[in-house]
Amino acid sequence: MIKLDDWAEIRHLFSLGKHSKREIARLMGVSRGTVDRALATDRSPRYERAPSGSIFDEFAPRVRVLLAKTPTMPASTLAERVDWPGSGSLFRAQVALIRSEYLPPDPADRLVHAPGAQVQCDLWFPHEPLPLGHGQDGMPPVLVMTSTFSGFIQARMLPTRTTSDLLSGMWSLIKDAGAVPTRLVWDNETGIGKGKLTEAAAAFAGTLGCQIKLLPPRDPESKGMVERMNRFFRGGFMPGREFASPDDFNTQMESWLLKANTRWSRSRRDRPATLIRLDRQAMRELPPVVPEVAFRNTVRLPRDYYVRVFANDYSVDPTMIGRIVEVSADLDKITVTHDGVIIASHERAWARALTLTDPAHVAKAAVLRRQFQQLTRRPMSAIEVVETRSLASYDQIFGINIEQFTPDLVVL
């Protein structure tokens, strides 16, 4: 077989028009027939190994019979049914080549995203723990929202993945954007809903006037844009960074996203920070009523004047002991009220199993305790004096002469 370099040189010499085929054969040191073959084709010579067959060939007919009945049968099951003795990877590769002949294709349409129509939502978890305070470390979830038209990215770390925190995170990012998209897409997150929206998520969507779309299982194409952000964060944001707290993480993330959203997008032929203007022009305005996103609970304040919120105990004004109090929690604060009056306020802790105490509550509890003790301690003047009766009176009542039972005293 002629070499590629010889083929190219023969065609070059012949194209000059100065050499005959015989001369070219002499200059190249090849036969005249080689020169003729090189000039007879415009395609470069390519080495092709003759097919030698495969061990799979003798099993292929039985595999095809099984695929004709059950096109979706797994390769491992097929190998078991036909008693395959060879490599599992070879068998899977050969089955993949012929399965398409029996299984109808599943085409994915090219999606066209209109401005303001859709924002994909997902949770990303950092691969390295960061300090949560009080000597604890953890990897809290990061809510990521990506516009499908502009590719604009928003993100914020949340304390938990509960419904209230997810809704609070979405509302904070939507407020920052200043507009509401037509649809928010989620992939069956428990706090949002599986198959059906939670009541809180449905109320949130209704207040905003948008749709929260829950994707069916195994449908990565419909939310692949935001899922690709996981790799983007791992490779572009996390390396070389250190975080002092979740608040520090959010500060650094916000600063980094300002640069990330100015990158050039080849598929969109523009920058997300520029295209987001068209997105927001097509979105709805923020609703006049703020959606209900905070965690709320109503409890009777116990004697130890603490309420439990997300695995932590927070102190409350002890004068409210025994009364019904309302507890609310957003992403930053824990607030306790009674009849609309704030009776306790704490910064929300990200660590768990903590007891967080306001010194003013402890001081007031000490005063109340002294007052209670003084009230319950009765003075001596108020105690009734009970008459002490002589025991001899009982002898008279029962007619007992005690002297007959008393021996005479012997005077020494």
Amino acid of residue 219: D
Q: What is the mean pLDDT of residues 296-324?
A: 95
- What's the length of the chain? 412
Q: What is the mean pLDDT of residues 131-155?
A: 95
**What is the edge-to-edge ordering of all strands in the sheet holding 211-214?**
153-157, 142-147, 118-124, 183-186, 211-214
Which pLDDT does position 18 carry in this prediction? 82
Q: Tell me: the pLDDT tens digits for 10-51? A: 888 888 878 888 888 888 888 888 888 888 877 777 766 766
* Residues contacting residue 172 through CB under 8 Å, at least 6 positions apart: 156, 331
pLDDT top residue among 224 and 102: 102
pLDDT band at 410 (very low <50, low <70, confident <90, very high): very low
Overall pTM surpassing 0.85 (yes/no): no
Phi, psi of 302 (to 5 degrees): -75, 175
Q: Tell me: the pLDDT tens digits for 213-243? A: 998 876 666 777 888 888 899 999 999 999 9
Tell me which CATH code domain 118-282 carries.
3.30.420.10
* Residues contacting residue 324 through CB under 8 Å, at least 6 positions apart: 298, 299, 300, 301, 338
Residue 398, pLDDT > 90, answer: no
Q: Tell me: the pLDDT tens digits for 55-101? A: 888 999 999 999 999 999 999 999 999 999 989 999 999 999 999 89
Residue 336, pLDDT > 70, answer: yes
Of 207, 185, 124, 134, give the one whose Cα is nearest residue 158.
124
Residue 337, pLDDT > 70, answer: yes
